[in-house]
Amino acid sequence: MKFKIIVCLFATMLISAILTPFVRALAFKIGGVDTPNKRRMNKIPMPTLGGLAIFIAYTCATMFMLRNQMPSQQLWGIFGGELIIILTGITDDVYVLKPHQKIIGISLASLFVYFFGNIRMNLVTLPIVGSFHLGLLSLPITWIWILAITNAVNLIDGLDGLATGVAIIALTTMGLIGTFFLGTSSVFVVIMIFALVASCIGFLPYNFFPARIYLGDTGSLFIGFMISVFSLNGLKDATLISVIIPVIILGVPITDTVFAIIRRVLNRQPISHPDKRHLHHRLMQIGLTMRQTVLVIYGIALIFSFISLLYPISNVAGSILLTIATLIGLELFVESISLAGAHRQPLLHGIRWIVKNTTSRSNHLKRF
């Protein structure tokens, strides 16, 4: 069984790699092309729709490996949501949708997997407080979770190979946690996760700098949606730690999204207002090349992944301390690159004030 899965995953990677040039030609033919402008990083027209190759390879793999093993309702329920997301992404890549129109597409896919795939958050267990059923809150919380993660992955798709590589790192981490810590109940989800990893790996050589094709919203929305769905399979009976783990795994896109919202609110701009102060923009503005920026963000994603692997082997106190340390380190990093704005560095200013006053007091005591 294990050998069969490995062979299927390798075949999935090859299918993705073989399909990508054909999808590239299709993108030019139907107008799924990114034309250079002041907001784009590309200097020449670049085909999008790359996510279509990933979707087809992934679908072939999961349908072949799981069609007689996974509950059919769940399998087809997830597949229905995937189709809605793919159609939304293709439409956006060809015709350019408005933000609220993309949200409608993501919401429809969320409703489909919620009602037909039974992918939802039902029970929450918190330390001290105890367990409680979400009841009617299950639907809005599930919707918010899918919408937030899908959009987070969509937002970081700004450089050659960036979203694809970060997704590979995040998905591999989720797969490892599912394999070693969640038991046999997650075997179907783990197979689906690694099928998506294989599909992304087959596509990455065409997408890494210098890219020959972009993921497009077809790819970034699909990958983000699938990550949210996979994580929800471990959140049906959610605990504080089971919620934190996927958030830490997706630390790069979530951080970028959160600080983009903060930045726009502080600047009194609409949340959907585009700017060039995302994480990858800031790293390039301080002097890194595109390739260096992508590799640095890969490194940051790996750090988040290593941190997330510590949670399953930590107790509650250790997990809380780990979370606090991660948040402090993250805040110092985003302030050092001015992700929220050049003059919004409260923690760094506080540290400088403490160091300055400590040094002044020490010098004053020395005089006596």
Which residues define the annotated binding site? 154, 217
User: Which are the contacts of 105, defined by CB distance < 8 A and separation ≥ 6?
Assistant: 84, 85, 87, 88, 91, 97, 221
Most distant CA pair in the chain, distance: 83
Annotated binding-site residue numbers for Mg(2+): 154, 217
Sort strands 130-133 and 237-239 into parallel, antiparallel or unpaired: unpaired
Dist CA 62 CA 32 (whole Å): 27
**CA torsion angle for 307, 313, 319, 321 (degrees, to 10)?**
-80
* Closest to 195 measured CA to CA, from 55, 315, 318, 326: 55
Dist CA 89 CA 76 (whole Å): 20
Dist CA 115 CA 77 (whole Å): 8
CA distances from 242 to 30, 126, 178, 189, 348 (A): 42, 11, 11, 15, 31
* Alpha-carbon 247 to chain mean position: 9
